[in-house]
Chain A
Amino acid sequence: MNKAGSSIRDVAVLICECDRKLPQRLDFARLTKTIGGLDTVAAVTRCSQLCDPGKCGEAIRAAAKKGGKRFVAAGCSIQSMGTGLAESFAHSRVPDGLWWPVNIKDQSAGKVTKPAATARVIDSLTSAVNRMTFASPIGTTSRTLCQDVVVIGGGVTAMQAAISLSAMGHRVSLVHSGSDLGGAALAAPELHGYMGDNPGDAEQQVHQSLVQLKEQLNASPGVTVISGSTLGCVEGEYGDFVVRTISGGGQQLIRAGAIVLACGPDFRPAGNPLGVPESASVITMPQMLEMMRTGKPPKSVAILMDLADQQSRGVSAQVLSVAERLAAQPASQVVVFCQHVRVAATGMENLYRRARAAGVRFTRYDVLALSLSANSKVALSTEDRVVGAGLEEEFDLVVLADLKPGNQAASPAGLVPGLRTSRDASLQYDNVWLLPVATNRQGIFVAGGARGGSDYREALTDGLAAAGQAHALLSGRRVRIPADAAVVDPEKCVMCLTCKRVCPHGAISVDDEKKAASVSTVACRRCGTCAAECPALAISLPRFTDSQVNADVGAKPGITIFACENSALQAAETAAGQGYQAEVRLVRVPCAGRVDPRHILNALEQGAAKVMVLGCHPENCRYLTGSTRASKRLQRLRDTLAKAGFDSNRIVFGGIAALEPARFRKYVHEIESTVQTGTTP
């Protein structure tokens, strides 16, 4: 299984002396002789510093003269050498894909004898040479990026994004469903008490800001406001989206390079989990607002929140704003029943203090019971969690403040193919790499309410952030795309849709003409999850094909660690640089999600004592779901093998971050300490 690909003698190995440091650690004569003696190696060339473009270029040319066409560049870490090497090889007209970096500097660091370090480096260079025999050149294509941006939403976030994009030279279509711009702030300026020093001031601030935004928007060149329209669907990909909008008058198609989803979430009153019959005395927050505007609310009011679920900071802001206003009436009695008041935003603590000063009482409850009295009052009985005492009180009015996500089917999430959302109403998948405003889909951004925000100032900041990121993505107008995206073999594809469903980035669609799945080269992030899941083995990932990964595993691998290059590999290199030399075979993968059960089984069949897959911590995987998938895949394989009597502890998954070399050491210690002598049972 791990035989060489090409048998042509055209691999050149460039070994960096790292300014004479490495010859002190490594036996260069033995290295040159052993590696030079491999069947496919045409030349072993020493270079005093591979990170120096001039010296690197010289070494490449010298090796090429001896017949080198594919190159192994042995030097320091990929992070240190990466960009410089890429430029040097490109300058020497070595196609991308025909060179591969190996970190020999960290491998020979620390307390390790020269012969041992040399043996280790020979081993990894042999794998790398073998790997290169499967290498093929990777071309590039380029594409023009449409500079227009569609912003969906009519609130302050959307307005701010449009203004900012216009200022950066983009034409913007602002699509919103209403007739007036301003969104939630326009509809209910009273609910933003944190914006000022008193209720009137806060409302005034919101008004002024809205007026200012509208003026700026009107003065922004290239902004088209499309009112009374909703999002129909999104087709295409970053740089070349087509947004279909629907209005009473029909449909409209808008071409765009990027999309900003700044539409507020569809939140509705959450209903009443206490099971109290509907009555004039038990109302929702919108009804309360209406009552405050049109009539005189009663004197004694209870506001209930956190009934079914813990509510967001946005609900706290609404409750505090309303409570402060109610308490301002003479002889009023306002009590907020809650689990938490969330005040982590500018002005919120101030608003809370003002509400208290105005006479609002806050009660943290464990159990809450409601009943209607005969005199149309509402009796509330509760146990105050703080003072531990039971309370029985009557109120004229009870306001249910909780919100819940509304109609999911009407959410833009369903209209943007492949968009991954989180469990709450946010259109942003819950992963730290996407913060602040990115989504799993390249070129589609979320801001403000669309990602669960509700704070006025944050809404503006989000609008700026989304505009900035969209601009950064589209800048340059053309993008060069290396042809190393996942590739589907249409002959083998059975159109099972698995790849489309598992792709973290929504990069896969079905090509109706080819009758096969098709990977977008601009949307694909090269994680390889699809290749590791395809049941027909129809998908491969250039640079990390099955043959290349298996070549890296090599023969007699010992302890094998498949290391995600975003986390584990960096942690391992740091650990090695700190002098920790683990007796393990490190196999670089772009994401733990690339690791196929077949790769693990191959390593075990080659004699690996243990196999470990180290990826990002699952909850913050660089490629969102890759690490989680890898761990689940491993669990299934472990279960299968365990039932066949195989020691499943020989297969381990671990989560790690790039800056956790200590965790890498811990994992290796654990795995070493449990290695038993002997091979397969």
Chain B
Amino acid sequence: MIVAERKPIEEIRQLTAGHGKLLVLGCGTCVTVCLAGGEREVAVLAAALRLCGSVKTTESTIERQCDAEFFDKVRKEVASCDAILSLACGVGVQMAASLFPDKPVYPALNTKFMGTNDGAGEWSENCLACGDCKLGIYGGICPVTRCSKSLSNGPCGGSADGKCEVDPEKIECGWQLIHDRLKALGKLNTLSEIAPPRDWSKTHSGGPRKLSREDVAGL
């Protein structure tokens, strides 16, 4: 799931300054689940903005802001507002911007990462969408994401007591986790094979990626 959190409200107010009427638009999927951009957050943010300024708001939450069709429900509201304040992830904000070329669209959230929900109010990053999943080799623990340096062949010298030197308080050494898990599975020998350099062109380093399913698309 995509995990996001609300921007500091002072930043949101700066972004939307000068707009008298805002459509505060929530997204009903990932950001609802991660408590950042669903109907509740829309209501709270809209009320907070009204209370702290002379802004008028319309509130709505659509199923998914990453799909154009769901915006049909709010075309009327979009037409009558000065700007859209989107509580979607960056994907949804861009979709809104592309759908409504005449309307300023502002993000109310910072999109953080793709990750797990570790319990009420806690999330962790687990996937960088590298485009070439090697979890099968690494015992189900991703070295690209869980190692701060995305190393493919074992830990660096900054691994101590299972912690990463980048932040020993919060970050576990991904390679320690990989090692421990493969050991528990009796598959440590898989690590004796040197992994070739990763093809980073499959990641965002190769530019914005597109995906097209021939059998579904274009007909």
Contacts and interface: CB of A to CB of B under 8 A. Distances in A.
The 5 closest A-B pairs by CB, nearest first: A601-B47, A501-B120, A644-B52, A535-B38, A496-B33
A605 B51 contact: yes
B80 to A, nearest CB: 20
A88 B34 CA distance: 47
A598 B47 contact: yes
22 contacts: A494-B28, A494-B29, A496-B32, A496-B34, A496-B117, A497-B117, A501-B120, A534-B40, A535-B39, A537-B39, A598-B40, A601-B43, A601-B48, A604-B47, A605-B47, A640-B44, A641-B48, A641-B52, A644-B10, A644-B52, A644-B53, A680-B51
Given A502-B120, A643-B9, A535 B51 contact: no
Contacts of A534: 40
Given A637-B44, A644-B10, A536 B120 contact: no
A644 B120 contact: no
Contacts, number: 79
Given A494-B38, A601-B47, A641-B51, A535 B120 contact: no
Chain B, interface size: which category?
20 to 34
A249 interface: no
- Most A CB within 10 A of own CB, among B32, B49, B53: B32
A501 B122 CA distance: 11
Contacts of A497: 117
A220 B13 CA distance: 72
A597 B120 contact: no
A635 interface: no
B75 interface: no
B51 A643 contact: no
A57 B32 CA distance: 48
B70 to A, nearest CB: 14
B50 interface: yes
A641 B53 CA distance: 11
A36 B8 CA distance: 49
A549 to B, nearest CB: 14
B18 interface: no
B114 to A, nearest CB: 16
B35 interface: yes
Interface of B: 8-10, 13, 28-29, 32-35, 38-41, 43-44, 47-53, 117, 119-120
A596 B43 CA distance: 11
Given A643-B10, A644-B53, A681-B52, 15 more contacts: A494-B32, A497-B117, A501-B119, A536-B38, A537-B40, A597-B44, A598-B44, A640-B44, A640-B48, A641-B52, A644-B9, A644-B13, A646-B51, A646-B52, A680-B52
A553 to B, nearest CB: 13
Contacts of B53: 644
Nearest to B38: A535
B43 A537 contact: yes
A605 B47 CA distance: 8
Contacts of B39: 492, 535-537
A422 interface: no
Nearest to A494: B32
A535 B10 contact: no
A119 B127 CA distance: 62
A602 B50 CA distance: 11
Contacts of B33: 494-496, 535
B119 to A, nearest CB: 6
Given A494-B29, A645-B52, A680-B51, A535 B9 contact: no
Interface in A181-219: none
A189 to B, nearest CB: 40
A494 B44 CA distance: 19
A323 B48 CA distance: 66
Contacts of A537: 38-40, 43
A373 interface: no
Nearest to A537: B39
A498 B52 contact: no
Contacts of A637: 44, 48
Contacts of A681: 52
A18 to B, nearest CB: 40
Contacts of B8: 643
Contacts of A535: 32-33, 35, 38-41
A537 B40 CA distance: 6
Interface in A520-539: 534-537
- Most A CB within 10 A of own CB, among B8, B39, B117: B39
Contacts of B38: 494, 535-537
B9 to A, nearest CB: 5
A623 to B, nearest CB: 16
A397 to B, nearest CB: 34
B40 A605 contact: no
A28 B117 CA distance: 58
